[in-house]
Amino acid sequence: MSPFNLDLFGDTEPEQPPRREQIGAQACVLRGFALPWLESLLTALEGVLTVAPFRQMVTPGGFTMSVTLSSCGALGWTTDRSGYKYTHNDPQTGQPWPRMPDVFFELAQAAAREAGFADFVPDSCLINRYVPGAKMSLHQDKDEGSYAAPIVSVSLGLPATFLFGGFERSDKSQRVPLLHGDIVVWGGVDRLRYHGVLPIKDGHHPRLGEQRINLTFRTAG
Ligand code: SIN
Ligand code: FE2
């Protein structure tokens, strides 16, 4: 056998499935994009959650959200009876939100670039924890100071069905299955689309157990 026939490229699939799925003119799913970052991402996440643990939040309408939340970065998204807002400090401790770990920032920026948004500079990462049954109703992300930057949304743990709708709540939504490591990016003409998550099904994820964690990166300030 010639040395050139060594199995140097033998692990390469002859045909890779498409890793990028367009769900809008400026919206896509990057399949498995977070996987190479995973272990450092989870280590950094653990550090953030030690300082700012998951907590329940109440909507302005008085409903307790089924997801529990935390944040890191210069600004953290919160909700209470007085409204939705970004704050510099964690209302629970009065201290600044934990700084955004470099690995978070780098992953979000790389995903945005891959999706066609150069120079994404997120200053906020909302961390949502879903246990089976938890969901996110259809909503628009519109508490940010500007809509020029995209949203970068990382899925970890249990699978989810992401709803990606139109510009009215009543518009029909696409149902997009999301798996551990997938990233959804939407911006530009798609920035204000309604989106949500169907109730998470019972299950056990080998790395994260009985939960789904979502990291939502935004330029809020
Ligand atoms: C969100 O829109 O805040 C969360 C989306 C998700 O969990 O995938
Ligand atoms: Fe959202």
Q: Which one, of 158, 167, 141, lies nearest residue 220 by Cα?
A: 141
Residues near 122 by Cβ (< 8 Å), separated by ≥ 6?
A: 73, 100, 105, 108, 109, 149, 152, 217, 218, 219
Q: Is residue 4 part of a domain?
A: no
* Lookup: tokens for 125: 């990462």
**In the predicted model, is pLDDT for residue 155 greater than 50?**
yes
Name the closest-CA residue to atom 2, ligand 1: 196
**In the predicted model, is pLDDT for residue 6 greater than 90?**
no
pLDDT at 5 (0 to 100): 47
Distance CA 22, CA 132 (A): 28
The whole model's pTM is what?
0.92
24 CB-contact burial (10 Å; exposed 0-12 / middle 13-18 / buried 19+)? middle
Amino acid at 138: L
pLDDT at 164 (0 to 100): 98
136 lines ligand 1 (CB under 6 A): yes
**Which residues form the domain of 73?**
21-218
Other beta carbons within 10 Å of 159: 15
Q: Is residue 166 part of a domain?
A: yes
Strand partners, 152: 185, 217
58 three-class SS? strand
* Lookup: tokens for 117: 């948004």
Q: Is residue 157 part of a domain?
A: yes
* Lookup: tokens for 122: 């997120």
Q: Is residue 10 part of a domain?
A: no
**In the predicted model, is pLDDT for residue 84 greater than 80?**
yes
211 lines ligand 1 (CB under 6 A): no
Distance 219 CA to ligand 1 centre (A): 15
Residues near 13 by Cβ (< 8 Å), separated by ≥ 6?
A: none
Q: Is residue 9 part of a domain?
A: no
109 lines ligand 1 (CB under 6 A): no
Distance CA 161, CA 138 (A): 12
Strands (E), 60-159: 68-72, 76-80, 83-87, 124-130, 136-139, 151-157
pLDDT at 72 (0 to 100): 98
Q: Is residue 1 part of a domain?
A: no
Domain count, the chain: 1
Q: Is residue 3 part of a domain?
A: no
φ/ψ region of 170 (left if φ > 0, alpha if ψ in -120 to 50, else beta) reads alpha
Residue 15 confidence class, pLDDT cut points 50, 70, 90: low
Amino acid at 43: T
Residue 1 confidence class, pLDDT cut points 50, 70, 90: very low
Residues near 182 by Cβ (< 8 Å), separated by ≥ 6?
A: 29, 30, 31, 32, 33, 34, 154, 155
78 lines ligand 1 (CB under 6 A): no
Strand partners, 111: none
Q: Is residue 141 part of a domain?
A: yes
Distance CA 218, CA 193 (A): 15
We report the CATH number of the domain holding residue 100 as: 2.60.120.590
